[in-house]
Amino acid sequence: MKAGQFITLSDFDSLKSNGLQPVEIQVLSVGALSAERQVFRIAFLSEDFSKAVLNMTPAKGDPLNIVLNYEPLLPINNRRQMIENGEGFLFVNPSAPAGADLNTTLSYVADINAPEGDKYLKVLDAYGAYNEAPARDGLSGVKLIGHLVVYEAEADANKGTYLVVFEYGSPDNKDGGLITLYRGKGIAPHEIK
């Protein structure tokens, strides 16, 4: 996928939202996270980055596409702000001592209990160099790191539904990067063109 390209989504949720017609939507920018000889691509489909498609081709297993929608119950903040606001549930032993490098002292939890009662288990944790084309305002030429954590619903009835944490920022910012939580649904390769 490339910025400016139109893609067509024909998964169940897209068809349902569009009178049983496929949804054609333009890719506004594409982010790429390079981690451990793998590349994860995020095609952003809205100007506020609230809708996206995550494309993963892991070293083992089948490629996976997940349609992502921003979860508004968790405001976008960096690691320190989340902990100070009482929203540190994403981290193991959440604390933010003054001067601590939260990029190295905090790690993401192994599972999340969602407010509706569903449990999500971590299935992927990738960290590495990140870039976007075109770059967001003010970030052109800035060295960025990205962190992608994917949690899949534990219950068989909800398999293929995900919570996805996406964090990006400067490696020099000790308060961590900006963190966005998305809800997502996996779609088959033939449901995106």
Return the higher-pLDDT residue of 141 and 191. Answer: 191
Q: CA-to-CA distance for 178 and 76, rounded, in angstroms?
A: 6
pLDDT digits (tens, 9 = 90+) for 54-101: 998 766 767 789 999 999 989 999 999 999 999 999 999 888 888 888
pLDDT digits (tens, 9 = 90+) for 133-178: 998 888 888 899 999 999 999 988 888 899 999 999 999 999 999 9
